[in-house]
Amino acid sequence: MKEINIKYSQAVKEALEKGLPVLALESTIIAHGMPYPENVATAIRVEEIAREHGAVPATIAIIGGQLCAGLEKKEIERLGKAGYKVPKVSRRDIPFVMASGGMGATTVASTMIIAAMAGIPVFATGGIGGVHRGAEKTMDVSADLEELARTNVAVVSAGAKSILDLKLTLEYLETKGVPVVGFGTDEFPAFYTRKSGLGVDYRIDDVAYLAKALHLKWSAGIEGGVLVANPIPEAVGMEFEQVEEAIQIAIQDADRLDYEGKRLTPYLLGRIKELTDGKSLEANMQLVFNNVKLGAQLAVAYSKL
């Protein structure tokens, strides 16, 4: 894979050549995150926020069988219009989607892989995958966690998706040696809500300090990523009890309909949106915007090192 050429947008290519800050962004949120045309408008707004805070956005995807770091607006439009017809691509799927010559929407894991190949050390997303509830029976553990253990990229997210078993997710990350940093918080955020009742490894309030820690980690040859847990803004965060009630109903419905594997998370998120009268979708969008802001600031601070 290391010998495969990456297609860079002109802006990303020039930024990397000049050592300017670049922020990686995923594309599953475009194809699978929300309906067209809201998905395209959101993706364009996300890129604008990155630029406003000093970083060149590099939306990651597979287009025409080629790994891409940075998309043109027409390519974002293609992904958004195609929607769920575009395969969701994780680590295992990359070579097969490339071989097909088609499009692929990258998850956290595959975005990390391609970002690392492209030389982009900071990536902002909504929330990572993790250990699913009931995993002691299903063994359903997201590939995102393994990628964090092996790939040198800092992932800025609003914690992990609250549909997951957050305690087991944090224990898994601890086992794999992945530092969990709470940015401005002592408590691990749970996606839609700032609260989980669970702690983080380190609370850091200063972007420059965080960038220095990342630089020292990778300069010392300590492989693997860092999870930067950035809580949803208080003004748009949802109450923990409201979110948990909706999750429990959604999980029961998913069990009844026999949803599992790749179909499970999209179903749960969609059902939670229905149960919260759309509040979860608005919260999702706002937390992504917030993470992109922090991700861009971190990319700027890291580039100075």
pLDDT, one tens digit per residue, over 216-253 is: 999 999 999 999 999 999 999 888 788 778 878 887 88
Q: Which of 7, 13, 88, 161 is catalytic?
A: 161
Asked if residue 1 has pLDDT above 60, the reply is no
Question: Per mean pLDDT, which of 174-178, 249-253, 258-262, 282-286 is the most reliable?
Answer: 174-178
**Residue 184: count of CB within 10 angstroms of its CB:** 12
Q: If you average pLDDT over every residue of the chain, what do you get?
A: 93
Pick the CATH number of 7-303 from 3.40.1790.10, 1.25.40.20, 3.40.50.2300, 3.30.465.10: 3.40.1790.10
* 95-119 average pLDDT score: 97
pTM of the predicted model, to two decimals?
A: 0.93
Q: Which of 107-111, 170-174, 204-208, 251-255 has the lowest mean pLDDT?
A: 251-255
- Please confirm, yes or no, whether 187 is among the known catalytic residues: no
Could you tell me the pLDDT band of residue 142, with boundaries at 50, 70 and 90? very high
pLDDT at 266: 76
Q: What element of type H or E holds 220? A: none
Contacts of residue 66, defined as CB under 8 A and 6 or more positions apart, other chains included, come to: 5, 6, 7, 98
Percentage, residues of the chain above pLDDT 90: 75
pLDDT at 295: 98
| Cβ-contact 178, 148 below 8 angstroms | yes
pLDDT at 3: 58
- Please confirm, yes or no, whether 161 is among the known catalytic residues: yes
**Vertex 85, ends 84 and 86: CA angle to 5°?**
85
Q: Which of 51-60, 79-88, 249-258 has the lowest mean pLDDT?
A: 249-258
Q: Which of 26, 47, 77, 147 is catalytic?
A: 26
